[in-house]
DNA sequence: TTGTAGGCGTTATCAG
DNA sequence: CTGATAACGCCTACAA
C-alpha cells in the first residue's frame, strides 16, 4: 500500500509517465526501460492502483445486477458465474442489488442509488414497468435484461420462452395419454401480482393453454414457498380423491425431491405417475427427470459479452434474443397405463 | 454522469465542501443548507461518485475471495451470499479469484495480482502452504479463512471440523449395527494431493478412523467428479459381491440423487440400505436425508463481520473459530435388519 | 456552520 | 521513445 507510482519512477530513474505506460501500454516503451521499471516495481511490490486508474478513467467499471431473490439461488448463482466469467476479465466488478419487497423496489427506483456509479445495469428474472424502465434509462447507461420483460424496455436482452416451454412439456404429457395432470407452482408474491410477468406465471400460462387446447380442465396447485415445499405438495396431492397420472412442476427444485418422496410412498415414477420439472438442475440429470433445459451460466456470459460490446461501442447483433426452449426427455415420463380416459 | 459536485455546489449556492459534507456527514450541516443541497442534487441527478470517494479514501473497498472451484457451487454461492450481506452494506465489493489448477495457483501466488488492490483476502475451502501464507501476508492486509487451514496462517478464521463430523456420522452407523459400510468420495485433484488438506480428505479420514476404532475394514470408493456421479457410484456399487448395508457419502450432492436411484432399483432406504450425506442441502431436508449440517451463508456473514471489525481496528474476539459439527438425524438411516455380522 | 485549498495516484496530451 | 503537467471528483484539515 505504501509505494506509489512515483517511488517506482524514482527507483527506475524514469518519469511517472513511463511507469504508467509500462503497465498500460508496454509496447510504447523501449524494452530496456520497461525492464528497469518492472524490476523497480517488483522490488517495491508495486502494482497499479485500481481505484486510482478507475477513477481517472471516468468509467466506474462496475455493473449492477438487479435480482428479486437471493443470490444463492440456482439461477442467480449460475447467471452470476456467467456474467463474471466475461466481466471480470474485462476489469468489471459486479454488485448485487436485491429488489425483493415492494418497499425495497420502490425505494430503489425512486432513489436509484446506483446512479452515476455503474456502467450498466443487468435486470434478472423480473419484469419492470414502463415507468421503472424510463427511470432506469434516465441514468443514461445500458440496461440489459435476462429473462426480463418487456424486451423493448432494455438495450439488450436474452430470454427463454417459459410459456412456450411449459406448453410444449404439457403437450408431451397429453400426447402420452395423460388427462389427469396437476401443475404445482408457487404463488406470485403479492407485490408482483397483476402488473408484472414472472417466469412462474408464464409457465403456468403455458400449462393452462395446453390443457385448454385439448379440452382438459387445468388443475393447478399453489403451495407456499417455504422450507417444506415437498410436504406442502404431498399434502395437497393426497388431499385429492386420487393421484393424478402426471405432475407438472414449476421447477426442478420441487420436482426432484418430489420424485424421491413419491417413490418412498410406493408410487413408481414413471409407471404410476409421470413427473416433469423445469430448469435442468444437475440433480435432475442424475435422477433422470424429464425437464426443460436452461443454462443461466451461458445466458449470463452471452449477455455480458454483448454488454461489453455495447459499452465499447462495437456493433452488437441481435439486441433481443429469445433462446430456443429445449425439453430434455429422460425417464420420469411415460404413457398412461390404465387408459380410462373418456 | 455529467454533473459533478461542483455543479451541485453552484446550483445550491454553497461550496463543494458543504455538498460533500451533506452526503457524508449530514449532521455537520445546517438543516436548511442540507435541504438546499439535496434539492440541487436531485435536480441534477447527482450522487457522490463512488470511484472518486473510494480513491481518495485510500482504501480500496474491495475484498478478494479466493476459491478453488466454481462460484456457483452450493457452498460458494451461499458463502458469497453471507459475505455480501455484510460487506455490501459496508460499501465493499467482493471479487472472486479462481485458484483452480496448479498453474493458476502458482501464477496467483507469484504475482499476487490483487496486491495493493484489496483491503482483505478471504480464502475459502482450500488450504494454503506456509509459503503461500507468508506471501499473502506480504501484502500487509488481513487474510481470513473459511474452512481453510492451517488456522494460524490466517488473521481470522472460521471452520467446521469435517473429520470429527464424519467420524461422528460413521459411529452413528456403526452403533446401529452396520459393519458393511461404503464411503463414496471424489478423489483429490492431483495438484493438491499430499501438501494440502481439503474438506474431502478430512471427511475420509474421519470415516476411516471410526471404522478402525471398531475393527472394521474401511471400504472406500473413489469416483470421478464428472457429469455422471451417480452412475459412477452405482457402477462401483453393483460391481461388488453384494450391496453394503450403509453408504456414507462425502456430500449431499451425491447422496440425494443416489437415494432416488437406489429406490428406483428397488432398494428401500433405510430398510435395505442406510444412506448419509454431508452439507444439508435444501433437497436433503426435503427427502429426509440424515446428514451433517453446515451453513455457509452464516459462516460467510460471521467472518465478514469480524473482518470488518478488524479493518476498523475494533477488537475482534475469537480469531479462530471452529463451529460445532451437528448431525441432522432424519430417516435415511436405520439399524441393520438381518444381523449376520461376525 | 461553512469555505479554502491541498492532495489522493493515475492517465492523457503535448512537447521534446 | 520519454518527460512535464493538467486533469479526474472528492474529502478533510484548517481557517474564518
Beta-carbon contacts of A122 under 8 Å, excluding residues fewer than 6 positions away, are A63, A64, A65, A66, A83, A94, A144, A145, A146, A303, A307
Q: Is the pLDDT of residue B339 over 80?
A: no
Q: Which residues, in sequence order, are bridge partners of residue B249?
A: B184
**HEC string of chain B?**
CCCCHHHHHHHHCCCHHHHHHHHHCHHHCCHHHHHHHHHHHHHCCCCCCHHHHHHHHCCCCEEEEEECCCCCCHHHHHHHHHHHHHHCCCCCEEEEEECCCHHHHHHHHHHCCCCCCCCEEEEECCCCCHHHHHHHHCCCCCEEEECCCCHHHCCEEEEECHHHHHHHHHHHHHHCCCCCEEEEECCCCHHHCCCCCCHHHHHHHHHHHHHHHCCCCCEEEECCCCCCHHHHHHHHHHCCCCCCCEEEECCHHHHHHHHHHHHHCCCCCCCCCEEECCECCHHHHHHCCEEEECCHHHHHHHHHHHHHHHHCCCCCCCCEEEECCEEECCCCCCCCCCCCCC
B21 CA – C4 C1', rounded, Å: 15
**Shared domain check, A280 and A180:** yes
Share of chain A above pLDDT 90, in %: 75
Q: Is the pLDDT of residue A53 over 60?
A: yes
Mean pLDDT confidence for B262-276 = 96
B190 has pLDDT over 80: no
pLDDT above 80 (res A340): no
CA/C1' separation B75–C6 (Å) = 48
Task: Report d(CA A51, CA A195) in Å as an integer.
Answer: 41
Strands A326-328 and A291-293: antiparallel
Tell whether A262 and A319 lie within a shared domain. Answer: no
Report the footprint of strand C: residues with C-beta closer than 7 angstroms. A 4-6, 16-17, 20, 23-25, 46, 48-49, 52-53, 55-57; B 13-18, 21, 28-30, 32-34, 55-56, 58
- Residue-wise pLDDT for A75-120, tens only, equals 999 999 999 999 999 999 999 999 988 889 999 999 899 988 999 9
Residue from B72, B90, B295 to probe the interface with A (highest A Cβ count within 10 Å)? B72
Nucleotide nearest to A3 (CA to C1'): C9
Report the alpha-carbon distance of residue B237 to residue B233 in Å, rounded. Answer: 6
The answer to whether A173 and A181 have CB atoms below 8 angstroms apart is yes
Residues A173 and A148 in one domain: no
Same domain, yes or no, for A212 and A333? yes
- Any residues with CB less than 8 A from the CB of B13 and at least 6 apart, and which? B36
**pLDDT band (50, 70, 90) for residue A341:** very low
Provide the 8-state DSSP code for A341.
-
Residues 121-150 of A with CB under 8 A from B: 138-141
Residue B38 maps to which CATH number?
A: 1.10.260
What pLDDT shows up at residue B55? 92
d(CA A99, CA B82): 17
Chain C nucleotides with an atom closer than 7 Å to a protein C-beta: 1-5, 7-13
Evaluate if residue A224 carries a pLDDT over 50.
yes
Q: Which residue is nearest to nucleotide D7 (CA to C1')?
A: A56
Nearest by Cα to B278 from B258, B294, B295, B299: B294
**Which position has the grid cell 478488524?**
B310
Quick check: helix, strand or coil at residue A236?
Answer: helix
Three-state SS at A122: strand
Cα Rg of chain B (Å, integer) = 26
What confidence category does residue A188 fall into, taking pLDDT thresholds of 50, 70 and 90? confident
Distances (CA, A) of B136 to A182, B29, B79, B87, B155: 56, 42, 21, 21, 11
Confidence label for B101 from pLDDT (cuts 50, 70 and 90): confident
- Contact, B323 CB vs strand D, < 7 Å: no
- Quick one: B301 and B259 in the same domain? no
Cβ-Cβ pairs closer than 8 A, A with B, add up to 137
Range scoring the smallest mean pLDDT among B27-41, B164-178, B210-224: B27-41
> Straight-line distance from CA A17 to C1' C14, in Å?
13
Contact present, B316 and B310 (Cβ < 8 Å): yes
For residues A39 and A80, state if they share a domain. no
User: Are residues B137 and B171 both part of a single domain?
Assistant: no
A99 in B contact zone (CB under 8 Å): no
Asked if B227 and A285 come within 8 Å (Cβ–Cβ), the reply is: yes
Report yes or no: A337 at the B interface, CB cutoff 8 Å.
no
Give residue A198's pLDDT.
Answer: 77
Predicted local distance difference test score (pLDDT) of residue A72? 97
pLDDT at B157 over 60: yes
Cβ-based contacts of B50 with chain A (< 8 Å): 60, 62, 117
> Three-state SS for A44?
coil
H/E run at residue A244: none
Q: What confidence tier does B192 reach under pLDDT thresholds 50, 70, 90?
A: low
A49 touches chain B (CB under 8 A): yes
Residue A37 sits in the same domain as residue A15: yes
User: For all residues of chain B together, what is the average pLDDT?
Assistant: 92
Q: How many domains does chain B have?
A: 3
Same domain, B79 and B30: no
The whole-number pLDDT of residue A314 equals 86
Cell of A203: 409457465
Residue A328 has φ and ψ, to the nearest 5°, of -100, 110
Mean pLDDT of A200-228: 94
pLDDT of B342 strictly over 90: no
Shared domain for A184 and A290, answered yes or no, is: yes
Chain B residues in contact with A81 (beta carbon < 8 A): 70-72
Given this model, what pLDDT does residue B197 score? 61
State residue A196's pLDDT score: 54
Residues B102 and B194 in one domain: no
Rounded to the nearest angstrom, the minimum Cα separation between B80 and chain A is 8
| CA gap A145, A197 in Å, rounded | 13
Tell me the percentage of chain B whose pLDDT exceeds 90. 77
Q: Which residue has the least CA–C1' distance to nucleotide C13?
A: A17
* pLDDT tens-digit map of B194-239: 445 678 889 999 999 999 999 999 999 999 999 999 999 999 999 9
Alpha helices in chain A (DSSP H): 5-12, 16-24, 31-43, 50-57, 74-87, 102-111, 130-137, 162-175, 199-213, 229-238, 252-264, 282-287, 296-311
First-last CA distance in chain B: 78
Closest CA to A92 of B119, B121, B95, B2: B95
Instruction: Please check the confidence at residue B113 and state whether its pLDDT lies above 60.
Output: yes
Q: What is the structure's pLDDT at B341?
A: 45
Residue B188, pLDDT score: 77
Residue A170: all three cell numbers together: 404439457
Containing structural domain, residue B11? 5-56
Confidence of residue B126 (pLDDT cuts 50, 70, 90): confident
Beta-carbon-side half-sphere exposure of residue B1 (alpha carbons within 13 Å)? 14
For an interface test with A, the pick among B61, B84, B264 (most A C-beta atoms closer than 10 Å) comes out as B264
* Mutation for B interface: A84, A186, A286, most B CBs within 10 A: A286
For residue B303, give the nearest of B134, B112, B115, B94 by alpha carbon: B94
Residue B23 confidence class, pLDDT cut points 50, 70, 90: very high
Residues A45, B81: C-beta atoms closer than 8 Å: no
Q: In chain B, which among 212-251 make CB contacts under 8 A with chain A? A: 227-230
Q: Which residues of B touch A88 (CB under 8 A)?
A: 95-96
Indicate whether B130 and B233 sit together in one domain: no
Provide the b/e sequence for A228-263 (b: ≥16 CB within 10 Å).
Answer: ebbebbbeebeeeeebbbbbbbbbbbbbbbbbbbbb
The confidence score (pLDDT) of residue A315 equals 83
CATH number for the domain including A287? 3.40.50.2300
Q: Does B35 touch chain A (CB under 8 A)?
A: no
Grid coordinates given for A272: 404410476
Is the CB of A47 inside 8 Å of chain B's CB atoms?
A: yes
Q: Helix B252-264 to helix A252-264 angle, to the nearest 10 degrees?
A: 50
- Find the mean pLDDT for residues A255-281: 96
Amino acid at each position: 500500500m505504501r509505494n506509489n507510482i512515483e517511488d517506482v519512477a524514482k527507483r527506475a530513474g524514469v518519469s511517472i509517465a513511463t511507469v504508467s505506460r509500462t503497465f498500460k501500454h508496454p509496447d510504447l516503451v523501449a524494452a530496456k526501460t520497461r525492464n528497469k521499471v518492472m524490476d523497480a516495481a517488483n522490488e517495491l511490490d508495486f502494482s497499479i492502483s485500481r481505484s486510482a486508474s478507475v477513477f481517472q478513467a471516468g468509467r466506474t467499471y462496475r455493473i449492477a445486477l438487479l435480482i428479486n431473490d437471493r443470490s444463492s439461488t440456482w439461477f442467480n448463482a449460475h447467471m452470476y458465474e456467467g456474467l463474471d466469467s466475461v466481466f471480470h476479465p474485462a476489469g468489471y466488478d459486479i454488485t448485487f442489488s436485491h429488489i425483493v419487497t415492494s418497499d425495497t423496489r420502490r425505494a430503489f427506483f425512486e432513489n436509484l442509488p446506483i446512479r452515476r456509479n455503474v456502467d450498466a445495469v443487468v435486470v434478472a428474472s423480473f419484469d419492470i414497468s414502463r415507468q421503472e424502465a424510463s427511470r432506469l434509462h434516465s441514468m443514461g447507461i445500458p440496461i440489459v435484461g435476462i429473462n426480463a420483460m418487456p424486451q423493448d424496455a432494455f438495450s439488450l436482452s436474452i430470454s427463454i420462452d417459459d410459456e412456450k416451454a411449459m406448453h410444449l412439456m404439457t403437450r408431451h404429457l397429453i400426447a402420452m395419454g395423460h388427462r389427469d395432470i396437476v401443475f404445482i407452482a408457487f404463488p406470485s408474491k403479492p407485490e408482483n401480482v397483476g402488473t408484472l410477468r414472472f417466469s412462474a406465471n408464464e409457465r403456468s400460462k403455458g400449462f393452462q393453454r395446453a390443457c385448454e387446447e385439448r379440452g382438459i380442465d387445468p388443475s393447478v396447485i399453489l403451495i407456499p414457498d417455504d422450507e417444506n415445499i415437498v410436504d406442502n405438495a404431498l399434502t395437497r396431492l393426497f388431499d385429492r380423491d386420487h393421484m393424478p397420472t402426471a405432475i407438472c412442476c414449476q421447477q426442478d427444485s420441487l420436482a426432484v425431491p418430489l420424485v424421491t418422496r413419491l417413490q418412498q410412498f410406493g408410487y413408481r415414477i414413471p409407471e404410476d405417475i409421470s413427473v416433469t420439472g423445469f430448469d435442468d438442475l444437475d440433480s435432475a440429470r442424475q435422477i433422470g427427470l424429464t425437464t426443460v433445459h436452461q443454462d443461466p451460466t451461458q445466458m449470463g456470459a452471452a449477455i455480458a459479452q454483448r454488454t461489453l460490446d455495447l459499452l465499447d461501442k462495437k456493433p452488437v447483433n441481435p439486441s433481443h434474443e429469445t433462446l430456443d426452449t429445449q425439453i430434455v426427455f429422460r425417464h420420469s415420463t411415460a404413457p398412461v397405463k390404465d387408459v380410462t380416459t373418456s
